[in-house]
Structures are given as structure tokens and as C-alpha cells.
């Protein structure tokens, strides 16, 4: 699915700078790779493949090691996400409160499956395994905003509010 | 005089609209020219009443909830600032029966204080444990934790004092204290609530641990799904450094303890202690083969304490009030209190801290009020996604480590997820395998391959393809995973699967629509 060559020289100046800043911030820490990757993703919203050789060289690791870490963790993204990331909890507590119905509704409303982005680039839909809001199941998180007791109606209202905020910009 | 109003900043309260409620209260007070002070506290853990707004009155704190922004005008009209009568008025907070019947040792300040105010923490016995510890020899601190009977609250229930003693007895240039805050079990949120509602308590517990075992550096490994806890911890750590509770010379004792938060990245397996250490080192979270134990060769190959949030947060009260005080709560080999988390299909979900020993039925019905849907509770899963499904016939089991293990279940981190009689337990068994397949670190074959084969088998069973043979096959697969996996993920995934098959066989033999 990913055909972009991992060649640092193809990165634009801004992206390259953000990667260098992330490295400068954490390079001297013990065991810094996860922190560097978090910082890159925080700055760029994803981790470009071309960042991998840069990070590997800076931390004296092999490309395979960095690639291995990026792909091990669900949280790290190798492609830019939509404007908002909608994470719906899949775990038992939410299932006990008809979380599967919420999944189906969300997919239908946004016209995407999990790990996909809506056609207008507004929302990326992701599954997540527990948000720690289990006494308010089913739960979801939009970016870093947590919501509980979400039914179809509340889901639509949350999505509408985000879409309206965009139009207002 | 300004009246103090409390509106929680806890993520669960925010998820029900607490931010908008706080804003509406502030705006209404300004409009009416009433001087108030809003404190953003943690949650009391009464989730069905969130957002729970409290008002400090001469007669103590009064609670109102669940409050929506629409209610705010009428609250002011009813003079809620003086505990006025209102349909949402719940009376004095401490008298709410769900709270009153608890025995809060670890969560005593959560929901009460401003979580990031060091002043407030100190005014509520905060740092009394550390001060006491600094008067003791390290071996005495370790002994006190051992004597308290505290067992790891993360799930494995290993005696905390023994772990500490092992690290204490190692000689090394650098030792570490690590806190496992990768609370990934569904149905659990005690760590989150504590880190958001009383972060200083965890910081104090870790500092005591460092002083006890001679570790000068600590890490909190926090899951990335907890941005609110991340903020609260960082605010509290900064305040603790500022006031000399962390750093090169803790309370002028000459002892050093540095602490930082490191974020996980959405991998359930990193709640396993050796996987967590790999992740802290910046690697793939693959489990290590034990021995060596982390206490001997842990983070960066050095002696390391790995404790859960609640275990570490239990330490200050043990030091402050003594091992005997703590030990006097509980039954048998389960000493102290356990913060239980009531979740899933339950009417009154939330946090319930009490001495070990009450039964599941008491918890589910007396405190939980039965299911949220009003239907009979058919099953509960205790101890997260690797815990067994317990049928109604076993609800009279006492909630302690030994009693639960006696029925093939486990207490784990104390999460209790209720399901009503519409739940399809065969689908839940399939989900257990699916979860294991998604979260397997891939290092050992029974877990990596077994979980995927398990999903396929469950799909055949659900579709009634060669059903009896596949039911036998999945049972054999479970035995292989149970005995052949490197860690608890593959090794315990059979628990929910096999318990569902044992207690709810009819769900596995339904006719296909």
C-alpha cells in the first residue's frame, strides 16, 4: 500500500526540520526511540517512511530496528490521518453496552471502515482497546476528547459539531 | 466570601460534559455577580452521577448530579451555593450510601482535593508517608511494606515487599523504580482515576520506593490513551520538583529521586512487565524470558522495581499509618483494600474501594444496582480481557485472590464487567481470541498463531461448520496456548474462551440464522 521510497532527500524542508527538532529534543535521553517517534508524530501527525533512515542514523540504530518499532505499536501512523481521529472502543465493557452497534453506525455514518479516512479528509476511524471510561460505556475519543455513553444520536451530534467547526473556520 | 464549587476535571466526568458545566457555572455566577471559586477536582467515582458538582458549605460538601449546562440556571435559582433544595440535590456528599459504605485508603483524597495543588495534598496528610520514611532505615521501609501484606494490584498479586527486598539487596551503580501505568484491561480505570485525581500520591509512593531500595531514577510508563492523566502527572511532577519533593535533595535528606513520565503507544502487551521494560528502552514491546527477574536485571539491565499504580499509591498510607493499620483490612492472604471498578452493563458504575471479602453479588446488586438495561445479569468478567467469565451461579464467591482463583477466575486489576442476558458468550469467546491476535507481540508461536487459528475456529463454530469437531479442536488449542505461551497474554486468553464454553454451552450451539 505504501509506495513512497524511504528517501530522506525527498522530504521537504519543513518536514525535515520537524524530524530534526524531535531528535534534538530527545536524542540524549536513555532509550529515546519511542519518545522521538512520539515527537515526530506530534509534529507531523504521522511518521513518514523517509524519517526512518534519519532517525536510525541519529540514534545509531539500524533502519530495521526503527521500522520494527514504528510498526509494532498501534499508535504510530505511517500515513497522514484525517483532520480528526475518531477512536471507538472495542473492548468488553463497551461490547456489553452494545458497542458493536455503535461501530456499525459509525462506519455507516462516515462511509468508511476502520483504519480509513472519509472522502472529505475530515475523519479517520480507528478501533481502540479500552479508553478507561468503562463505567460510561460505550466510549469513544475524538482526538484527545473523551466521550461516554455514546449512542447513534450522540455520535451524529459529535460528528456534526466537528464538521460545523470546520465550516466556521 | 467566595463559595467554593467543585467540578471534576476527571476524564470520565469530562466525557459526560463536565467542561461545559464548569463554564456554565462560571458564566452564571458572573451574570449574578456572585463570587465563587471553581476547583477542578478528581472524580468521587460515582460515574452515573457525573458530572457531579459539589458546593462547600458550613455543613460540609453537598452534591448535585448529574448536572448538565441546562440545569445550571435552576441550580442558582434554588440557591445551590447554600445547599438549596433542587431535584438534582443528593445531600451531603459523604452521606451518599455508595460512598459511605466504602473504606477508602488509597482513594481517600480522590475527588476531594485539587489534584495538582501541592498545598491541598499536604493539608490532607500528603507527604506524611515520605516524611516518616525518611526517618527510617531503608530495610525498615521494605519491612513495613512486607508486613502490610500488600500484594501487587496490577493483577499478578505478587507480594510487593518481597520484590522491593530483592531490588534492595542488589548492589548496582544504578537502580530504577518503574510504575506500570499501562492500564489496558477493559473494565478498569482505577489507575487513571488516581493519576488524574491524586497524582502526588503516586509520586510520593515512588519516591518512598526509590529511597527504600536505593534507586535514584523513576519512570511512569503511561498508556497513550490517557492524555488527561498525562497532563495531571506532568503538572504534579513539576510542582513536586519546584517544592523540593523530587530532584537531587529530596526534602533536604541528601537523597536523590528523579521522575518522569514516558508514554506507551497503544500496545496492550506493554502492561506485561518485561514488555514494558523493553518499551521503556525504546524497543518493540516483546516479552523477555524470565529469569532473570526485573528485580535483578530490569530496565537497561539494572535492578528495577516494576509496580502498578495502585500498589505504589498504597505505600504512603502504609508508611504514614503503619503496616498493622493496613493489614487489619482484608481477609486471609488478601490484606488491605481493593479498589474495584464496576463497569459494562451496570446501573451504578464506578469505583468501589473496600476491604477484600465482599461477594460479587453484593457488589453487583447492593452497590451496582443491577444491570443498566434492567435485565438479569448473566455473566461478569473479572480481571480484564484475560479473566474468566463467571456465571450467575457463582456470584456468591468472595472477592479475594484465593476465592476467585478457587473457581478458576482471577481478580487481576479489579475490573468487573457485567453483561445482561442478551450477551452472546460465543461471540465474546471469539473476541477474546481476536483481541489476542491483535495484541500478540509475536514472539512465541502459541500466542501469535494460536490466536489467529482460534478466531478461525470460532467463526466455523458460529457458522455451524463441523461444529462438534471444531469445539474439540478449540479446546485443544486452548490447552496448547495455556501451557506453551511465553507470557500471560497467550497463556490466559484460554480463560475467557474456556469459561464461556463451560458455563454457556448453549451459545456455542445456536442454530445459524
Q: Which triple of cell numbers denotes residue B52?
A: 457531579
- Rounded to a whole number of angstroms, the distance from the CA of A32 to the nearest CA of chain B is 6
pLDDT of residue A1: 44
Chosen CATH of B118-327 out of 3.40.50.20, 2.60.120.10, 3.40.50.11540, 3.40.50.1820: 3.40.50.11540
CA distances from B33 to A51, B29, B74, B85, B273 (A): 55, 6, 16, 21, 54
In our burial notation (b when 16+ CB lie closer than 10 A, e otherwise), range B321-359 reads bebeebeebbbeebbbbbbbbbbbbbbbbbbbbbbbbbb
Cβ neighbours for B142, distance < 8 A, ≥ 6 positions apart: B161, B164, B165, B168, B212, B213
| The C-alpha cell that represents B459 in the structure block | 467463526
Nearest to B94 by CA among B70, B119, B111: B111
Percent of chain B with pLDDT over 70: 100
B51/B60 Cα distance (integer angstroms): 19
CATH architecture, range B425-509: Up-down Bundle (1.20)
Percent of chain B with pLDDT over 90: 97
User: Which whole number is the average pLDDT over B450-466?
Assistant: 98
Task: Classify A148 in phi/psi space as left (phi over 0), alpha (psi -120 to 50) or beta.
Answer: beta
Q: Are B395 and B404 in contact (CB under 8 A)?
A: no
DSSP states of B297-365:
S-GGGS-EEEEEHHHHHHHHHHHHH-HHHHHTSEETTEESEEEEEEEES-SS-EEEEEETT-BHHIIII
pLDDT in tens, B370-407: 999 999 999 999 999 999 999 999 999 999 999 999 99
Q: Do B283 and A73 touch (CB under 8 A)?
A: no
Chain A residues touching residue B419 (CB < 8 angstroms): 96
Q: Write the pLDDT tens digit of every residue in B144-195.
A: 999 999 999 988 889 999 999 999 999 999 999 999 999 999 999 999 999 9
Would you state the pLDDT for residue A7?
Answer: 82
Spatial distance between the Cα atoms of B142 and B149, rounded to a whole number of angstroms: 12
Sort out which chain A residues have CB atoms less than 8 A from B192's CB and list them.
132
Closest-CA distance, B58 to chain A, in angstroms, reads: 32
Cβ neighbours for B301, distance < 8 A, ≥ 6 positions apart: none
Question: How many other C-beta atoms are found inside a 10 Å radius of the C-beta of residue B463?
Answer: 11
Closest Cα in chain A, distance from residue B223 (Å): 10
Average pLDDT over residues A17-43: 97
Predicted confidence (pLDDT) at residue A5 exceeds the cutoff of 70: no
Alpha-carbon gap, residue B219 to B262, rounded angstroms: 7
Q: Pick from B187, B279, B420: which is nearest to A92 by CB? A: B187
Residue range B214-237: average pLDDT? 98
pLDDT in tens, A92-124: 999 999 999 999 999 999 999 999 999 999 999
pLDDT computed for residue A3 by the predictor:
44
- Among B268, B284, B381, the residue with its CB nearest the CB of A68 is B284
Give the angle A93-B45-B429 at the CA atoms, nearest 5°: 15
> And the C-alpha cell for A157?
451530534
- Please list every residue in chain B whose beta carbon sits closer than 8 Å to the beta carbon of residue A56: none
The beta-carbon neighbor of A92 closest among B50, B267, B344 is B344
* Contact status of A96 with chain B (Cβ, < 8 Å): yes
pLDDT in tens, B34-57: 999 999 999 999 999 999 999 999
Taking the C-alpha atoms of residue B342 and residue B348, their distance in angstroms, rounded to an integer, is: 8
Q: At residue A169, does pLDDT exceed 90?
A: no
pLDDT band (50, 70, 90) for residue B511: confident
Is B375 strand, coil or helix? coil
pLDDT score at B31: 97
Residue B219: partners with Cβ closer than 8 Å, 6 or more residues away? B176, B177, B178, B179, B259, B260, B261, B262, B280, B299
pLDDT in tens, B393-443: 999 999 999 999 999 999 999 999 999 999 999 999 999 999 999 999 999
Q: What are the phi and psi torsion angles at A136 (to 5°)?
A: -130, 40
Residue B65 has pLDDT above 80, yes or no: yes
Residue B134 confidence (pLDDT) above 90: yes
pLDDT, tens only, B102-131: 999 999 999 999 999 999 999 999 999 999
Would the pLDDT of A2 be above 60?
no
Domain ranges for chain B: 3-100, 118-327, 330-420, 425-509
Q: In the structure grid, which three cell numbers stand for residue B337, read together?
A: 483494600
B402-439: b (≥16 Cβ within 10 Å) or e? ebbeeeebbbbbbbbbbbbeebbbbebbbbbbbbbbbb
| Dist CA A136 CA B16 (whole Å) | 8
Mutate to test the interface with A, among B230, B282, B389, B424 (most CBs of A within 10 A): B282
Contacts of A160 (CB under 8 A, 6+ apart): none
- In angstroms, rounded to a whole number, what is the distance separating the alpha carbons of residues A124 and B432? 25
Q: CA B428 to CA B168: how far, in whole Å? A: 43
**B198/B339 Cα distance (integer angstroms):** 14
Give me B371's grid cell.
444491570
The mean pLDDT value for A50-57 works out to 97
Which one of 3.40.50.300, 3.40.30.10, 3.10.310.30, 3.40.630.10 gives the CATH number of domain B3-100?
Answer: 3.40.30.10
Domains B3-100 and B330-420 share a fold: no
* Cα angle, residue B209 at apex, residues B203 and B211 outer, rounded to 5°: 105
Q: Which residues of B touch A135 (CB under 8 A)?
A: 12, 47-48, 189, 341-343, 346, 349-351
Angstrom distance (rounded) from CA B237 to CA B259: 7
If you average pLDDT over every residue of chain A, what do you get?
Answer: 94
Nearest by CB: B266 against A33, A73, A135: A73
Positive or negative, the CA dihedral B338, A133, B195, B209 is: positive
> Could you write out the DSSP letters of every residue in A74-92?
TT--SS---SEEEEEE-SH
- Is the pLDDT reported for residue A167 higher than 80? no
In order of A103, A157, A161, B265, B439, the CA distances from A116 in angstroms are 13, 21, 20, 19, 20
State residue B331's pLDDT score.
87
**Three-state SS sequence of B230-256:** HHHHHHHHHHHHHCCCCECCHHHCCCC
Which residues is A123 bridged to in the sheet? A84
Q: Which CATH architecture has domain B330-420?
A: Roll (3.10)
Amino acid at each position: 500500500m505504501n509506495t513512497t521510497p524511504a528517501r530522506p532527500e525527498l522530504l521537504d524542508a519543513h518536514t525535515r526540520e520537524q524530524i530534526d527538532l524531535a531528535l534534538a529534543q530527545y536524542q540524549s535521553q536513555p532509550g529515546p526511540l519511542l519518545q522521538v517517534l512520539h515527537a515526530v508524530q506530534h509534529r507531523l501527525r504521522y511518521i513518514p517512511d523517509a524519517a526512518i533512515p534519519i532517525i536510525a542514523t541519529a540514534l545509531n540504530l539500524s533502519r530495521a530496528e526503527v521500522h520494527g518499532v514504528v510498526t509494532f505499536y498501534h499508535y504510530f501512523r505511517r500515513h497522514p490521518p484525517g483532520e480528526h481521529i475518531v477512536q471507538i472502543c472495542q473492548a468488553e465493557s463497551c461490547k456489553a453496552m452494545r458497542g458493536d452497534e455503535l461501530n456499525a453506525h459509525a462506519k455507516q455514518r462516515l462511509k468508511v471502515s476502520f483504519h480509513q479516512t472519509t472522502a472529505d479528509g475530515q475523519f479517520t476511524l480507528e478501533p481502540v482497546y479500552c479508553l478507561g471510561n468503562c463505567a460510561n460505556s460505550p466510549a469513544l475519543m475524538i482526538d484527545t476528547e473523551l466521550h461516554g455513553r455514546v449512542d447513534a444520536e450522540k455520535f451524529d451530534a459529535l460528528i456534526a459539531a466537528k464538521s460545523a467547526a470546520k465550516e466556521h473556520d | 466570601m467566595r463559595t467554593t464549587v467543585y467540578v471534576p476535571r476527571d476524564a470520565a466526568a469530562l466525557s459526560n460534559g463536565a467542561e461545559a458545566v464548569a463554564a456554565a457555572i462560571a458564566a452564571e455566577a458572573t451574570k449574578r455577580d456572585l463570587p465563587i471559586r471553581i476547583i477542578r477536582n478528581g472524580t468521587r467515582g460515582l460515574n452515573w452521577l457525573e458530572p457531579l458538582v459539589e458546593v462547600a458549605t458550613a455543613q460540609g460538601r453537598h452534591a448535585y448530579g448529574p448536572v448538565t449546562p441546562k440545569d445550571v440556571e435552576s441550580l442558582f435559582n434554588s440557591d445551590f451555593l447554600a445547599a438549596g433544595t433542587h431535584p438534582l440535590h443528593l445531600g451531603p456528599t459523604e452521606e451518599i450510601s455508595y460512598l459511605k459504605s466504602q473504606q477508602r485508603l488509597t482513594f481517600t483524597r480522590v475527588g476531594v482535593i485539587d489534584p495538582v495543588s501541592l498545598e491541598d495534598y499536604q493539608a490532607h496528610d500528603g507527604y506524611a508517608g515520605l516524611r516518616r520514611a525518611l526517618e527510617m532505615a531503608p530495610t525498615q521501609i521494605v519491612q513495613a511494606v512486607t508486613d502490610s501484606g500488600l500484594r501487587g494490584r496490577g493483577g499478578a498479586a505478587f507480594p510487593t515487599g518481597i520484590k522491593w527486598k530483592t531490588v534492595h539487596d542488589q548492589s548496582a551503580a544504578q537502580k530504577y523504580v518503574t510504575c506500570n501505568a499501562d492500564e489496558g484491561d477493559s473494565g478498569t480505570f482505577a489507575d487513571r482515576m488516581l493519576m488524574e485525581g491524586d497524582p502526588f500520591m503516586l509520586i510520593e509512593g515512588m519516591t518512598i520506593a526509590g529511597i527504600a531500595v536505593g534507586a535514584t531514577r523513576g519512570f511512569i510508563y503511561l498508556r497513550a490513551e490517557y492524555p488527561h492523566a498525562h497532563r495531571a502527572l506532568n503538572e504534579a511532577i513539576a510542582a513536586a520538583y519546584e517544592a523540593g519533593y523530587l530532584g537531587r535533595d529530596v526534602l533536604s535528606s541528601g537523597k536523590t529521586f528523579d521522575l518522569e513520565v514516558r508514554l506507551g503507544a497503544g500496545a496492550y502487551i506493554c502492561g506485561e512487565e518485561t514488555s514494558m521494560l523493553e518499551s521503556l528502552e525504546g524497543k518493540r514491546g516483546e516479552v523477555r524470558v524470565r529469569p532473570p527477574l526485573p528485580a535483578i536485571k530490569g530496565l537497561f539491565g539494572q535492578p528495577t522495581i516494576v509496580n502498578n499504580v495502585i500498589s505504589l499509591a498504597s505505600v504512603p498510607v502504609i508508611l504514614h499509618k503503619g503496616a498493622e493499620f493496613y493489614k487489619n483490612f482484608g481477609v486471609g492472604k488478601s490484606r488491605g483494600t481493593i479498589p474495584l471498578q464496576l463497569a459494562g452493563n451496570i446501573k451504578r458504575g464506578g469505583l468501589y474501594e473496600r476491604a477484600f471479602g465482599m461477594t460479587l453479588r453484593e457488589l453487583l446488586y447492593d452497590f451496582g444496582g443491577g444491570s443498566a438495561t434492567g435485565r438479569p445479569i448473566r455473566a461478569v468478567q473479572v480481571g480484564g480481557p484475560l479473566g474468566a467469565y463467571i456465571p450467575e451461579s457463582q456470584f456468591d464467591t468472595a472477592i479475594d485472590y484465593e476465592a476467585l482463583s478457587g473457581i478458576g477466575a482471577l481478580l487481576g486489576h479489579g475490573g468487573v464487567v457485567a453483561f445482561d442476558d442478551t450477551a452472546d458468550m460465543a461471540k465474546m469467546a471469539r473476541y477474546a481470541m481476536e483481541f489476542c491476535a491483535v495484541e500478540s507481540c509475536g514472539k512465541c508461536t502459541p500466542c501469535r498463531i494460536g490466536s489467529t487459528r482460534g478466531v478461525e475456529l470460532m467463526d466455523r463454530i458460529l457458522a455451524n461448520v463441523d461444529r462438534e469437531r471444531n469445539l474439540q479442536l478449540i479446546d485443544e488449542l486452548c490447552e496448547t496456548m495455556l501451557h506453551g505461551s511465553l507470557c500471560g497474554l497467550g497463556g490466559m486468553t484460554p480463560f475467557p474462551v474456556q469459561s464461556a464454553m463451560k458455563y454457556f454451552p448453549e451459545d456455542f450451539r445456536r442454530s445459524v440464522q
